[in-house]
Structure 1
Amino acid sequence: MLQRFHKHHCTHNAIAGTDQTSLANARWKQGLLQPKPATRPHTHQRCARSRRPTVGRPRALLGLLQAGRAGRGKGSSESIEDKVLSTFLSGSATPYSSYIADPRSFLHDVHPIIKQVWLVVVLGTAGRAPAAVQASLCLVTVLQTISTLPPRLWQPQLKRLGLLCTVILLFVCIGADSVPPKLQTRAPPPQVSGLPSLAASKGAYKHVLFHWGIFTITQRSLTLACSSASLTFLALQSASLTLTTTPSEEIALALQSLMSPLRFLGVPVKQVTLSVLLALRFMALVLEEMRNLALGLAMRGVDWKAMGPGSGLNVIVRLVGRLFSNLFRQSEAVAQALHARGFVSADEHTIYTGLLHKSRPFNNVICCSAIAGLLAQAFVHL
């Protein structure tokens, strides 16, 4: 009985819906029915945009984060967690240090072996170089970054890296000699021995440049701070330039060529090369997973202040656990893909180089000349 009633009820609703539709179509043809005004004229366009990938639109991601916080009220202040999420999502959408094929620049046409040799020479000689040489190397790196990357990429990179180097400079400059050792002179001071004290000359060497309370800046701390900040900037930005202008396959092949003499010592060169290649490919997946988790958390519009003081740490721990589980799943998928394509061992693996660009001899000569000049300057100041 219930089944017959349900069937009759559904049939009646379907017939009624059909009759209403046909009646509406007839009235539409006669001009008696006017179309309803569209309350949201751009709904379909917004939905189509939201389904597109969010890469390259950090402002849109920041707008999504602000929309997720709109339900809390205008009077509520932004918490630290929201500021961190907005800063992370408003950054560059392109993963850091990923290869950028277009637009091509001077560094794109330099051989990858020369780039890696340049990295080793810069990091090996900049530490003992004078402050003027370190500043010139940093300036050359900044100019090369501006000429290589588009503005939407180099502006956030240089801002964050400059902020990091400034913090390192201040902390090392203030904290290196803030607690000086307690020294005692061999001879008593002139006031005790009765000898007249000598007046200090105007151009005398001063070890202590600034002293106020517990803060002391000396010649040694200033030199150490400049070296630390410049080395940090050169190491991070030079490596980023190398990765953004060189495909991962070329980096792996260049590393394999440089490490080939180590085969006589029993070093598994091909295994190291394959590990580097997989790590460079996996770096983009890590950044993408982090971005997706942060975007999902931002879209929920979590009220951090109402959750309590320890809730932020709890959410971060859970997100880290979810991140590692997603990364393990991605790595397992990569391993299954390698196995399905007939991967046996690293010794039998061949890196595909069919679509790689060739370097230009003119660019290679200029870079080799710069490396030779830097080495000559390092030998002069030994």
Structure 2
Amino acid sequence: MDLLRSLPLGLYLEQPQTWLHKLDPRVKFIWLMSFLTSYSFANNQWRILLVALLIIFTLAARIPRRVWQQQMGWLLTLTFLVFALTAVFPDGLGINYQPRLPANSQALAPLSNTAKATNEPKQVKTSKDYNYILFHQGPVKISRRTLDLGTRISTILFTVIYSTTLYLLTTAPEEITAGIESLMQPLRRLKIPVTEITLTLTLSLRFIPLVLEEIQNLIRSIMTRAINWKKLGLKGGFKVWMIVAERLLENLLLRAEQMASAMMVRGFTSPNEHRVPWHDLRLKSWDWLAIATLTIFWGIRIFVGQQI
């Protein structure tokens, strides 16, 4: 088991370089925030459109199938299961729904004659095709509320997870921190330590593979010892895992200390005095095209995707 390669989230695809890789990280970050915020107070049609756009972007970027199948396959399965379970669950409203009109249509005849005699306005005809319960077969009951709720939860789950996954897949950690630092420059006027924050973010992103490597090594060490978990029982198994967790914490603290020592040996004192420009952030023609497309995106969201 190789967690560094098999983990489906948070991986950066170095090769091949797609057109998503070539976009400015600031533009991609703004697109990411647009996906994460535009589904708020939106109708279900817009939320489904967001899911379709993410899939279209993935296919249009020509990301290898082995990558997006691993990234997207399990997430689509998870969201489908969430949608199915939410749709068949009770809607939470403990009300026995009854038809608004009586089963016998002749019962309305005296009322209509009275209305004609008193010159009152005629009753508005209601649509008989409307049904609150869309499907009811045995214990399975799907109502309009549960279907709407299932669509909301599943689409939001997919949008939040996969949009961030696609962003991390096509953006290097150094580009992410450089783009966030550039966008946070106005906060310097409020005396907010922008450089320190971005340095912490960079070290955190670099530390994630080390955490995965330590977890992987500990799991392999347990597997090679062929521990008989049935003989240990619940209490003995819990003690073993507590020892593993303690060892993991010790190894991570040791790695963090080694990283800090390496920075001190190289004369690092503060981020402002040891700035290393990893990327030259300049907006190019395709970046401006992405910004123009983002304007169209929000225009459609405001005029079409608004929840009524």
Alpha-carbon distance, 1:181 to partner = 3.4
For the residue of structure 2 that corresponds to 1:308, the secondary structure is helix
Residue 251 (structure 2) pairs with residue 326 (structure 1): yes
Match status 1:158 vs 2:72: yes
What whole-Å deviation, never above 9, does each CA across 1:62-109 have from its counterpart, x for those lacking one?
xxxxxxxxxxxxxxxxxxxxxxxxxxx589447742332211101111
Count, aligned residues = 287
Q: CA RMSD in A?
A: 3.4
Unaligned runs of 5+ residues in structure 1 are: 1-60, 62-88
- Which SS does the other structure have where 2:14 is aligned? coil
Q: Give the counterpart of 1:376 among 285, 299, 305.
A: 299
Cα separation, 2, equivalents of 1:258 and 1:113: 7
Instruction: Find out whether 1:365 has 2:288 as its counterpart.
Output: yes
| Aligned-residue offset at 1:124 | 0.8
Partner residue of 2:168 out of 225, 243, 246: 243
Q: Displacement, 1:114?
A: 0.4
Contact preservation (8 Å) 1:172, 1:225: yes
Aligned partner letter, 2:81: V
- In 2, the alpha carbon distance for the partners of 1:190 and 1:234 equals 44
Query: Bigger radius of gyration, 1 or 2?
Result: 1
**CA distance change for structure 1 residues 307 and 329 in 2, over 3 Å: closer, same or farther?**
same
Q: d(CA) in 1 for partners of 2:204 and 2:94? A: 46
User: 1:308 and 1:125, CA in 2 relative to 1: closer, same or farther beyond 3 A?
Assistant: same
1:95-134 map, 5 Å = 96-134=9-47
- Tell me, what secondary structure is at the counterpart of 1:99? coil
Contact 1:109 1:358 in 2 (8 A): no
CA drift at 1:344: 1.4
User: Of residues 209, 227, 243 in structure 2, which corresponds to 1:302?
Assistant: 227
Q: TM-score, normalised by structure 2?
A: 0.78
Q: CA deviation at 1:309?
A: 4.0
TM score, norm. by length of structure 1:
0.65
Q: How does 1:73-92 map to 2 (within 5 A)?
A: 92=5
3-state SS in 2 of match to 1:267: coil
Q: In the alignment, is the contact (CA less than 8 A) between 2:4 and 2:209 conserved in 1?
A: no
Write the letter of the residue equivalent to 1:105: T
Where does the alignment leave 5 or more consecutive residues of structure 2 unmatched?
112-124
- Mapped to 2, the partners of 1:97 and 1:121 lie a distance apart of 20
In the TM superposition, residue 184 of structure 1 has moved relative to its aligned partner by: 10
Q: Residues 10-40 of structure 1, C-alpha deviation per residue, up to 9 Å, x if partnerless?
A: xxxxxxxxxxxxxxxxxxxxxxxxxxxxxxx
Report the Cα distance in structure 2 between the residues aligned to 1:121 and 1:360, rounded to whole angstroms.
19
Say if 1:184 and 1:144 are closer, same or farther in 2 by CA, change over 3 A.
Answer: closer
Q: Higher relative contact order at CA 8 Å, sep ≥6: structure 1 or structure 2?
A: 2
CA distance in 2, matches of 1:216, 1:203: 18
1:168 maps onto 2:71 in alignment: no
Equivalent residues in 2 for 1:257-272, closer than 5 Å: 257-272=182-197
2:129 counterpart residue number: 203
SS at match of 1:209: strand
CA gap 1:113/1:189 in 2 versus in 1, 3 angstroms: closer
2:83 is aligned with 1:141: no
Amino acid at match of 1:151: R
Post-superposition offset of 1:348: 2.8
- 1:351 maps to which residue? 276
Instruction: Give the deviation of 1:357 after TM superposition.
Output: 7.6
